[in-house]
Amino acid sequence: MIYRWWHRIIRKRTKPIPVDQAVLWKRRLSIAYGIFAWNAIGIVMYNVVKGKADWAHYYGIKSDEEHDMPPARAFANTLGIKNAKVYRISGFTKVDEYEIVDGEELRQKSEMFSLFRGKSSCVNLTKMFYLVGLGLGDVKDITVRGLEIVKKCDKVLLESYTSILTVGKEELEKFYERPLILADRELCESNIDELLKEAKDKHIALLVVGDPLGATTHTDMLLRAKELHVETQIVHNASIMNAVGCCGLQLYNFGETVSIPYWTDNWKPDSFYEKIEANYSRNLHTLCLLDIKVKEPTEESLTKKIRQYMDPKFMSVKEAASQLVQIIENKSDTELSKQSIAVGLSRVGNPDQKIAVKSLEEMEQLDLGPPLHSLVIPAPNLHPVELDYLAQFR
């Protein structure tokens, strides 16, 4: 009926053309349709192979949660059905059964265990705030569990002020196939409550270079999460605190770790030196972590409404040695001297990591290349194996 009506309209509104011309055009159109269909199939196949079959998820229009939603829940959502009983059938067998209550999947505990058996460990119905360690060197240093979490989370942030990974954010995004949000000090310290509250309804991960609890202060974040009744999980990784062992000094023989801050013209704190001396007098090594300044407001802008930020800077072994030598020169009764041995380390965990053993005054002239750097002041009496190992870096 519709076909006949449509035929009549076309006839009325168009002029007939000769049959041979019509045949020619029919052939041309068939070839064009053929080429179009062939290319369309090719594009679809290419996207499937590249993992872009669900293009809305791939381009971030659809969240991970929507992407992972079973079809029954997705249909119920689309049709606005809040409560339903779902049976999943494969062949002639019922393989799953659960209820949807207020749009949420409801299962008995025993069902949950059988459902998640053999699946990734991070799939969890309780929303979670994850602290994930990235290790020290390569993008691939993340653990398998850490990567599973990064892939599953609704939102992933990269903590960017206590340490850096030499590869940078873009490399990480490429490897994880998802965007990352940079989390600066302001977000992690002043605005942390908002982020944690968001983790009540979403899986959120904060990625931390090294170990999330290695030489960093993320424990305050965990305490705050507890106060706000937000569930947390930590995924540990290698830290400079243990990787420093690469220089051959035994981890058991390290004393308190210190941080050396950048001096300014009128602020030259040296309280860390007492701790180095205390370790030294007890025949213990000292790991000195060196200052990092990322997104630090300039002194002049501190009193102004609009903040201006300094260029990022990372203290080098050379700068740290120079500050230490100045402290030693100003002290009359100290066991350490400019000739005391120090170990400089840069980019530990990277293929181009460097280790150098020199006196503090020689270290003042030493360039160990791009950041990050650490300095170790070894104990005065070393174990023979420590001495042998250090000898290769002299």
Which residues of the shown chain bind ligand SAM in the complex (CB under 6 A)?
A: 136, 162-163, 208-211, 214-216, 239-241, 289-290, 292, 345-349, 372-374
CA dist 374 and 240 (Å) reads: 9
- Cβ proximity to ligand SAM, 97 vs 189, nearer residue: 189
How many Cα neighbours within 13 Å face the side chain of 256?
A: 13
- Cβ proximity to ligand SAM, 136 vs 225, nearer residue: 136
In angstroms, give the least distance from the CB of 145 to ligand SAM. 17
CA dist 150 and 159 (Å) reads: 14
In angstroms, give the least distance from the CB of 40 to ligand SAM. 49
Sequence-distant (≥ 6) Cβ neighbours of residue 44 within 8 angstroms: none
- For residue 205, which phi and psi values (nearest 5 degrees)? -120, 135
Output the residue with the shortest Cβ distance to ligand SAM.
210
Strand-pairing partners, residue 133, are 208
- Cβ proximity to ligand SAM, 187 vs 345, nearer residue: 345
In angstroms, give the least distance from the CB of 159 to ligand SAM. 9
In a 3-state reduction of DSSP, which class is residue 22? Answer: helix
Tokens, residue 260: 């050396």
CA dist 349 and 244 (Å) reads: 9
Among residues 135, 316, 98, the alpha carbon closest in space to that of 212 is found at 135
In angstroms, give the least distance from the CB of 136 to ligand SAM. 4
Among residues 257, 171, 245, the alpha carbon closest in space to that of 217 is found at 257
In angstroms, give the least distance from the CB of 166 to ligand SAM. 8
- Cβ proximity to ligand SAM, 98 vs 161, nearer residue: 161
- Cβ proximity to ligand SAM, 324 vs 345, nearer residue: 345
In angstroms, give the least distance from the CB of 355 to ligand SAM. 10
DSSP state of 246: G
Tokens, residue 363: 């270290």
- Cβ proximity to ligand SAM, 136 vs 188, nearer residue: 136
Sequence-distant (≥ 6) Cβ neighbours of residue 288 within 8 angstroms: 257, 258, 259, 260, 272, 276, 320, 374, 375, 376, 377
- Cβ proximity to ligand SAM, 76 vs 149, nearer residue: 149
| Residues across the chain | 394
In angstroms, give the least distance from the CB of 53 to ligand SAM. 38
- Cβ proximity to ligand SAM, 73 vs 316, nearer residue: 316
- Cβ proximity to ligand SAM, 69 vs 246, nearer residue: 246
In a 3-state reduction of DSSP, which class is residue 41? Answer: helix
In angstroms, give the least distance from the CB of 157 to ligand SAM. 15
In angstroms, give the least distance from the CB of 329 to ligand SAM. 24
Burial class (CB in 10 A: 0-12, 13-18, 19+), 50: exposed
Whether the CB-CB separation of 221 and 118 falls below 8 Å is answered with no
Measured from the Cβ of residue 16, the count of other Cβ atoms closer than 10 Å reads: 7
